[in-house]
Chains A and B, each alone.
Chain A
Amino acid sequence: MKGELTRFEPRRLAALIRKESVQILRDPSTLLIAFVLPMLLLAIFGFGISLDANSIRVGLVVQDDSAQATSLAQALRSSPFLDVEEDRTVPALRAKVVADDLRALVVIPQDFGASFDRGRPIPIQVAADGSQPNTANFVAAYVEGVYGSWAQQQGLVPRGAQVGVNTRFWWNPELKSRFFLIPGSIAIVMTMIGTLLTALVVAREWERGTLEAMMATPIGMGEFIASKLIPYFVLGLGSMALCTVLGVAVFGVPLRGSVLALLAISAAFLIPALGLGLFISAATKNQFMASQFALLSGFLPSFLLSGFIFEIGSMPKPIQMVTYLVPARYLIPSLQTVFVAGDSWGLFARDIGMMLLFGAIFFFLAFRATKRSLD
């Protein structure tokens, strides 16, 4: 076995790679996953998902007819972040919150105007739909913002010894969520190709027994694995390039770093992704199982546990520990940096090192699983 592992003959390898490439090009479903799926995912993340500020439908009940109440109601109506629907009473609007037509209710209470004259203004009320926590938070913040600028305009708040906060968001002053969603979706696309596609294709060969037939030929195991991986490696880089072009041209995400850095990061990530795919196929040898495990250990963690959308620091400790085992966790910060911020080789070197380490581990496991099943 040891001898076979080290046997490497360029000519034979080249022939094998050609065979594998022809197989890929012949199967329409492979091309579907390599080129149609990336475009679909990019469209979903680019158009379908947006964490940007947007107008939220709220109900407004004005129970006071003073000048202050009227002008505050007007300020709420003209806020670009709120889409206001009015009614005289709370119950009618509450039913709309229950039916998911409105996200919150704002009430300007009776006596609101008069309380200003007394010098001790009473607060307005916001009842947000807690069944959608994120939106509930946003609504509260928007209404507070409208109130604040309204009060300042009316000269209702003297600014004494107060601390103001000037914020500056580096690299993304307009706070476009696309800037992190598009690089993140590229990470998911590469996981799909590296892990899911490889696991499926190799598992099919196991299932059909064509792998055993290959093993009976003088091909060494190293050559065999390399011949499986090199075409998918190229395919992975190809769809990364497609995503990059689309991300920049269609979705307006900047590419501020160098192409070399982008290439190095992506290539480093494909190693653990391919290794995991090979390992899954060798361990399951069954297409349905391989697909399920590839989804569970490849796709879902890249989406949920990589810090792509959900902050790792906010997760419970045991789950945070698990995230260290997810290669995409190391890809996403580097990918976001190379697109949005520019080259930062200190960060890249750390992440590339981790990805290569995981690549080595997965390949070791894949080799072992393959060998065991042949004995």
Chain B
Amino acid sequence: MGRLKAITIKEFWALLRDPKGRMALFIPPLMQMFLFSFAATLEVRNVDIGLLDMSQGAYSQELVEQLSGSSNFRQIEVFHSPAELQQAIEQQQVIAAIVIEQDFDRRLTAGRPADIGVVLDGRRSNAAQIVAGYIMRIASGIGADVRSLDPPETVRVINWFNPNLTYVWYNLPSLIVMLGAITSIAVTSQSVSREREIGSFDQLMVSPLRVHEILLGKMLPPLGVSLFNGLLFWVAAQVIFGVPFTGSFPLFFAALLLYNVALIGVGMFISSLSQTQQQAFLGSFLVSVPIIMLSGFSSPVENMPEWFQLIDHVNPAMYFLPVSQGIFLKAMPASAVFDWMWPVAIIALVTLSAAAWLFRARME
């Protein structure tokens, strides 16, 4: 026990000793926090759209005014010919352009339905679809004065847990998941490979330390750093970003701990496998990127092809992401947390044993 304590303290010092190293541990996560939480939004606002109005009547004017009044659009570019319109879309000056045909006002005045055309930039198909939705909503309100009665409300939508669909509420709980995947794996993977590259690993081997003590001593400090970062984000999410935390903290902490242990096993495995720091870094990058990208943050897991979802079952972030979001926003109960997290326990067991086995094999 005394030996384990000694090497853990030594490893902590090795991590935190020099100011440059400390910076690399804590500054990047903080920068990611600010960049990410504000930049990662699939909302579409402040877009420029174009208009080719061949009708030039009262109703087309009403439509233009409604569009300029919408906070979703920044500017409405007026075109005079289809060629101008085509060029503006091609050069991405506008993401969409509305075409109002000559008979638009005549038809509406006569009480008949009229259509507008909208040309959208299919290169940015996701944003274009959202813009199309905005335009449809505005267009459906035009001509209300010539209709006998307004169409009644058909679908009433409420959003549970996040009534205004604030993106930051989604981003911060997710960020805790991604950050773990970056920090835990990167830091752990450097630990053994650095000593091997410098040559100080041999000294460790001739010390009275037992293999499992070295292994634990190498893993506890990165775990400490990851948990510290995770908790820092947990506080920042509430204090700085105002994300509500509705669930139980002990439950959250337990899940966070389990998740990070699983990742540290992955990091240790890479570290034992690598001969140089560069290989360790590449290895950790090669593993972290899929863990993050396939966690379900960028797009839902169920959008992947079946066989890809099957592969994703070994990804600990895929399980911890709904749990982090759930405990933050939905007061997720222990039973649901358990249902999500037990595979992570198995993953942790597998990665830790694999790391220990490889570490031992490499030492002898």
Interface residues on B, range: 35 or more
Docked Cα-Cα span, A44 to B304, in Å, equals: 10
Is A120's CB under 8 angstroms from B152's CB?
yes
Write out the residue numbers on chain B whose beta carbons fall within 8 Å of the beta carbon of A352.
none
Verify B39–A305 contact, CB threshold 8 A: yes
Known contacts: A130-B329, A166-B117. The answer to whether A48 contacts B157 by CB under 8 A is no
Q: How far is the CB of B227 from chain A (nearest CB, A)?
A: 20
Contact of A288 among B124, B140, B190 (CB under 8 A): B190
What is the minimal beta-carbon distance from B230 to any residue of chain A, in angstroms?
A: 18
Which residues of chain A in 273-308 are interfacial with respect to chain B, using CB atoms and an 8 Å cutoff?
Answer: 286-289, 291-292, 295-296, 300-301, 304-305
Is A87 an interface position by the 8 A CB rule? no
Is B345 part of the binding interface, using a Cβ–Cβ cutoff of 8 Å?
no
Given contacts A99-B326, A100-B326, A315-B38, whether A168 and B113 have CB atoms under 8 Å apart is: no
Tell me, yes or no, whether B61 is within 8 Å of chain A by CB.
no
Size of the chain A interface, CB-CB below 8 angstroms:
101
Instruction: Answer yes or no: A5 CB below 8 A from chain B CBs.
Output: no
Residue of A97, A201, A287 with most chain B CB atoms under a 10 A cut-off: A287
How far apart are the CA atoms of A286 and B198 in the complex, in Å?
Answer: 13
In the complex, the number of residue pairs spanning A and B with C-beta atoms less than 8 Å apart equals 320
Cα–Cα, bound, A367→B127 (Å): 40
Rounded to whole angstroms, the CA-CA distance of A132 and B31 in the bound complex is 23
Q: A29-B282, A52-B303, A165-B118 are in contact. Are A131 and B154 (CB under 8 A)?
A: no
Question: Is B142 in contact with chain A by the CB < 8 A criterion?
Answer: yes
Contacts of B41 in A (CB 8 A): 310-311, 314-315
* C-alpha gap A175/B21 in the complex (Å): 46
Contact digits for B18-43, partner A, Cβ 8 Å, 1 yes 0 no:
00110010001001100110111111
Contact among B43, B147, B155, B162 with A162 in the assembled complex (CB-CB below 8 Å)? B147
Smallest CB gap from B279: residue in A:
A29
A160 to B155 alpha-carbon distance, docked (Å) = 20
Task: Point out the residues of chain B lying under 8 angstroms from A201, CB to CB.
Answer: 278
| Interface: B350 (CB within 8 A) | no
**With the chains together, A164 CA to B36 CA distance in Å?**
38
Given contacts A120-B152, A163-B143, A175-B125, contact A51 B39 (CB under 8 A): no
B92 / chain A contacts, CB cutoff of 8 Å: 333, 337, 347
**B290-333 vs A, Cβ < 8 Å mask (1 yes, 0 no):** 10011000111011110010001000000000100110111111
Closest-by-CB residue of A relative to B153 is A123
- Decide yes or no whether A151 CB sits under 8 A from chain B: yes
In Å, the complex CA distance between A98 and B340 comes to 12
Q: Give A159 to B151 CA distance when docked, in angstroms.
A: 10
Residue of B63, B156, B163, B277 near A123 (CB, 8 A) is B156
Assuming the contacts A47-B304, A48-B293, asked whether A163 and B154 have C-beta atoms less than 8 A apart, the reply is no
- The reply to whether B146 and A161 contact each other, CB–CB distance below 8 Å, is yes
- The listed residue (A54, A97, A175, A288) touching B281 by CB distance below 8 A is A288
Distance (whole angstroms) from the CB of B126 to the closest CB of chain A: 5
Given known A-B contacts A288-B281, A333-B92, A127 and B160 have beta carbons under 8 A apart: yes
**Which residues of chain A have C-beta atoms less than 8 A from B47's C-beta?**
311, 313
Query: Considering the chains assembled together, what is the distance between the CA atoms of A133 and B302 in angstroms?
Result: 16
Assess whether A161 is in contact with B147, with CB atoms less than 8 Å apart.
yes
* Complex contact A127–B158 (CB within 8 A): yes
- Bound form: Cα–Cα A130–B167 in Å: 9
A155 lies within 8 A of chain B by Cβ = no
Given A144-B154, A144-B155, A162-B147, the answer on whether A169 and B125 have CB atoms closer than 8 Å is yes
B24 adjacent to A167 (CB under 8 Å): no
Q: Which of B128, B135, B340 contacts A100 (CB 8 A)?
A: B340
Nearest chain B residue, comparing its CB with the CB of A156: B154
Alpha-carbon distance between A52 and B279 when the two chains are bound, in angstroms: 36
Given the contacts A161-B146, A163-B63, A54 and B165 also touching, CB distance less than 8 Å: no
Q: B113 near A126 (CB under 8 angstroms)?
A: no
Chain A residue nearest to B142 in the complex (CB): A163
- Contact A133 to B166, CB < 8 A, known contacts A44-B290, A163-B115, A311-B43: yes
A133 and B143 form a contact (CB under 8 A): no
Given A124-B156, A333-B92, A344-B91, verify A168-B118 contact (CB < 8 Å): yes
**Cβ–Cβ contact B281 & A167, under 8 A:** no
Say which residue of A44, A56, A168 sits within 8 Å of B289 (CB atoms).
A44
Q: Which residues of B contact A17 (CB under 8 A)?
A: none
**Chain A residues positioned under 8 Å from B285 (CB to CB):** 37, 196, 291, 295
**Smallest Cβ distance from A161 to chain B, in angstroms?**
4
User: Taking the complex as formed, is A23 at the interface, i.e. its CB lies under 8 A from any CB of chain B?
Assistant: no
Confirm or deny: A210 has a beta carbon within 8 angstroms of a beta carbon on chain B: no
Known: A161-B108, A314-B46. A123 touches B117 (CB 8 A): no
**Interface flag for A70 (CB, 8 Å):** no
Tell me, yes or no, whether B3 is within 8 Å of chain A by CB: no
Q: A136 contacts B165, CB within 8 Å?
A: yes
B39-54 vs A, Cβ < 8 Å mask (1 yes, 0 no): 1111111110000000
Q: Does A172 sit at the interface, judged by CB under 8 A?
A: yes
Q: In the assembly, what is the distance between CA of A33 and CA of B139, in Å?
A: 50
Question: Among B112, B151, B152, B281, which residue has the most Cβ atoms of chain A within 10 A?
Answer: B281
Q: Given A163-B116, A175-B125, check contact A200 B308 (CB 8 Å).
A: no
Does the CB pair B157–A140 fall under 8 Å?
Answer: yes
B122 at the interface (CB under 8 A from A): yes
Q: Which A residues are in CB contact (< 8 Å) with B142?
A: 163
Known: A143-B155, A164-B115, A304-B40. A132 touches B278 (CB 8 A): no
Interface centre among B31, B44, B90 (most CB of A within 10 A): B90
* B303 engages A50 (CB within 8 Å): yes
Q: Which of B43, B147, B286, B308 contacts A314 (CB 8 A)?
A: B43
Q: How far is the CA of A170 from the CA of B92 in the complex (A)?
A: 12
| Residues of B156-200 whose CB lies within 8 A of A | 156-163, 165-167, 169-170, 173, 186, 190, 194
Given known pairs A287-B278, A319-B39, the reply for A130 and B163 (CB within 8 Å) is yes
> Which candidate, A176-184, A242-250, A358-366, is the interface stretch facing chain B?
A176-184
Residue-wise, chain B 81-118 has the 8 Å CB interface mask toward A (1 for contact) of 00000000111100000000000000110111111111
Q: A121-B152, A163-B142, A288-B281 are in contact. List 11 more A-B contacts (CB 8 A).
A: A36-B286, A44-B289, A51-B303, A128-B159, A129-B160, A131-B326, A133-B166, A163-B116, A165-B132, A304-B39, A313-B74
Ranked nearest first, the 7 interchain pairs of A and B with the lowest CB-CB distance are A172-B122, A130-B162, A130-B159, A99-B336, A133-B165, A100-B322, A169-B122
A-B contact list, 8 entries, CB within 8 Å: A29-B279, A98-B326, A98-B331, A100-B340, A129-B330, A130-B162, A163-B63, A311-B44
